[in-house]
Amino acid sequence: MDFLNAIVLFANFVIIPATAYGAQLALGALGVTLIYSILRFANFAHGELMAFGAMGTILVTWLFQSQGIGFGPLPTALLALPIGIVLTVVFALLTDMSVYRFYRRQRVDPIIMAIASVGVMFVMGGLVRFIIGPDDQNFFDGMRFLIRAGEFRNMTGLDEGLAIKLTQVITVVVALIVVVVLFWFLQTTRSGKAMRAYSDNEDLALLSGIDPDRVVMTAWVITAILATIAGVLYGLDKTFKPFIYMQLLLPVFASAIVGGIGQPVGAILGGFVVAFSEVTITYAYKKFLAYLLPQQWAPDGLVQLLSTDYKFAISFIILVLVLLIRPTGIIRGKVL
């Protein structure tokens, strides 16, 4: 019984939240990796693009809510998501037209593009806070829990409860669908193959008649879709804080690099590696160990490797370790 309790406890506080968080990071990292493999620069503005997508979706959600439009037990934000995506796609394309295209035509070094994206990051961040304000926003409605801790306890007779939030399930399901569609797109469609070809060998792609502007545009469209979905899922799961997305940039980049930048599969793996590291390292194991160990061995302290305040430092540590030990990331290479 104690063993089961320990497992349920672990699942409740580590596995489930880390899975949802991992899915959010994976979607974010996919966007970073895509831009890296097509436009060949590290897009520091990706976090703010996620913020913009979330903001757009929130504004539409509020509009729907004020009109009394709902989505049953599901959050209205899911209904607003497509419109949020369209707004973000347009915004991303405008950004490309007004900033990156200029540098692309100049054929500048990737590092200059990356620095330009830092500028874009600040402008985007400012814009988001200008529109929606610097405060936290709650836009979640609908059913909160799929399984409540109390119900679970009654059902199973265990001491520990297992709570599964609806947002966590939505996160994982949506992420799964997005990833399947993305891979289908890259592997089988003509545009997808053109993107892979372009990412593999730009010179040859041009000589094969692949239109670079179209490939770049497609990359931005997909990235904006991914960023909006990632941003909204994160906001639904936690709350929407305009500043959090800038902080999220670090774990997102860590995910992309850990997995092997430019590798979509790597981005997904990396997302989960980072999420699980973050959650397992900041989790206090006191109660968990108390279940497993004999009474007299039960720990006094929290048995927490690192305080949750430092959770973003973990991405940083993982990043440094990976760059030292295996700079190519889990999956080698730098192409789609």
Supply the minimum distance, in Å, between the C-beta of residue 115 and other proteins: 26
**E-assigned strand segments in the chain:** 145-147, 164-165
Residues 137 and 308: their CA atoms lie apart, in Å, by 22
Q: Which residue lies nearer to other proteins by CB, 236 or 261?
A: 261
Mention every residue, 6+ apart, whose C-beta is less than 8 A from residue 67. none
DSSP string, 71-131: BTTB-HHHHHHHHHHHHHHHHHHHHIIIIIHHHHHTT--HHHHHHHHHHHHHHHHHHHHHH
Nearer to other proteins (CB atom), residue 193 or residue 238: 193
CB of 238 to other proteins, least distance (A): 32
Q: In 3D, which of 74, 276, 85 has the Cα closest to residue 170?
A: 74
Nearer to other proteins, 145 or 185 (CB): 185
DSSP state of 177: H
Rounded to the nearest whole angstrom, what is the least distance from the CB of residue 205 to other proteins in the complex? 8
Nearest to 215 by CA among 186, 184, 241, 188: 186
Given the complex with other proteins, which of 37 and 167 has the nearer CB atom? 37
Binding site for other proteins (CB under 8 A): 185, 189-194, 196-197, 200-201, 203-212, 214, 217-218, 221, 333, 335-336
Smallest gap from Cβ 188 to other proteins, in A, equals 9
Pair of tokens at residue 110: 């990737």
Q: How far is the CB of 34 from other proteins (least distance, A)?
A: 14
State the minimum distance, in angstroms, from the CB of residue 177 to other proteins: 15
Q: Using DSSP, state whether 326 is helix, strand or coil.
A: coil
Give 9 or 222: the residue with its C-beta nearer to other proteins.
222
Residue number, 7 or 210, with CB nearest to other proteins: 210
Six token digits for residue 131: 């529109």
Q: Please, which residue, 2 or 211, has the CB nearer to other proteins?
A: 211
Rounded to whole angstroms, the Cα distance separating 138 from 314 reads 27
CA 125 to mean position of chain CA atoms: 17
By C-beta, is 54 or 215 nearer to other proteins?
215
Task: Return the number of the residue (155 or 204) whose C-beta is nearest other proteins.
Answer: 204
| DSSP class of 12 | I
Is 58 exposed, middle or buried, given 0-12, 13-18 or 19+ CB atoms closer than 10 A? buried
CB atoms within 10 A of CB 107: 6
Q: Whole-angstrom distance between the N-terminal and C-terminal Cα of the chain?
A: 47
For the CB of residue 329, give the shortest distance to other proteins in the complex, in Å: 16
> Measured from the CB of residue 81, what is the shortest distance to other proteins in angstroms?
17
Residue with tokens 């063993």: 3
Which residue, 230, 229, 236, is CA-closest to 167?
236
Give the distance between the most distant pair of CA atoms in the chain. Answer: 73
In single-letter form, the type of residue at position 224 comes to A
* Least distance from other proteins to the Cβ atom of residue 307, Å: 43
Q: What's CA 267's distance to the chain center, in Å?
A: 10
